[in-house]
Amino acid sequence: MAVLAFHNTDTRRQIGFNNYHPDRLKKILNNLIDRGYTFSPPEEYLKNRRDVKRLCLTFDDGYEAFYKYAFPLLKELNVPAVIFVPSVFIGRKADWDYAGGIQKTMHLDADQISEISDAGFELGSHGYSHTDLTSLNDRMLKIELERSKKNIEELTGREIKYISYPFGRFNEKVEVFAAQCGYSNGFSLSFFKKSRIDFTIPRYGVYTTDTTFSILKKLECCILNRFEKVKGAIMNSYASGTILLNKLRSRNFTA
């Protein structure tokens, strides 16, 4: 059993490691289906954690490319997924990312989010302003968690149960506040930081460099599985540059 975390799914060549071309995504999903893997939404997945052939797909950042490319593919293959959205950026350019100043990348707009939700896909929070939640004081942390949940619930008319921590960063305070704000679980991007209160679910990040072989190793109990966990932690560490840049720019959307 595993949760796979994708980010962008654009056909354009992207700066960085987070884009996974939709043709490659289709190949991976078909390969997993052929190998007997099944895909479940998070609530069903969490109830069946012992099923080694059960997977959960997640997509962080809520990029517009999800609607253009991944959304039709997932509907075609009848594969469920949860899409995590930073709510202040709905319908806006992804200028929280250092690459946003170089290459215009848009987030999902309100109509697209509504259509995705109406099609049966689950939406989740990715924070309000895609900020490292561990760096915030109590007041700002509560605003980030509550405002994003409320924004997406108003758009979809459905309860938002899950949060993917921006940049995968969390600590016990973030978990406690998230639970108090009504979230059922959080999702991280590393297997090496453990949840002491059994709230946060680790995920395997899928990056541009991943192949069919490496993704299968993420799912199998073998010596290379440990390597994939280490590789994922290293890839996620590159987010520190974006976090630092945003601090230097002093962008504050939650005042």
Helix/strand/coil percent split, the chain, to 5: 45, 15, 40
HSE at residue 157, side-chain half, CA atoms within 13 A, is 8
Mind listing the pLDDT tens digit for each residue in 160-216? Answer: 999 999 999 999 999 999 999 999 999 999 898 889 899 999 999 999 999 999 999
Residue 119 belongs to domain spanning? 2-249
Q: Is 55 helix (H, G, I), strand (E, B) or coil?
A: strand
Q: Shortest CA distance to 9 belongs to which of 83, 81, 59?
A: 59
Residue 143 lies inside a defined structural domain of this protein? yes
Mind listing the pLDDT tens digit for each residue in 131-170? Answer: 999 999 999 999 999 999 999 999 999 999 999 999 999 9
pLDDT at 27: 97
Residue 73 lies inside a defined structural domain of this protein? yes
**CATH (domain of 85):** 3.20.20.370
Residue 254 lies inside a defined structural domain of this protein? no
Structure pTM? Answer: 0.94
Please say if the pLDDT value at position 120 is more than 80.
yes
Residue 255 lies inside a defined structural domain of this protein? no
Residue 82 lies inside a defined structural domain of this protein? yes
Mind listing the pLDDT tens digit for each residue in 61-90? Answer: 999 999 999 999 999 999 999 999 999 999
Number of domains comprising the chain = 1
Listed in order, strand segments (DSSP E) in the chain are: 2-6, 38-39, 54-59, 82-85, 122-125, 162-164, 185-187, 200-201, 204-205
Residue 171 lies inside a defined structural domain of this protein? yes
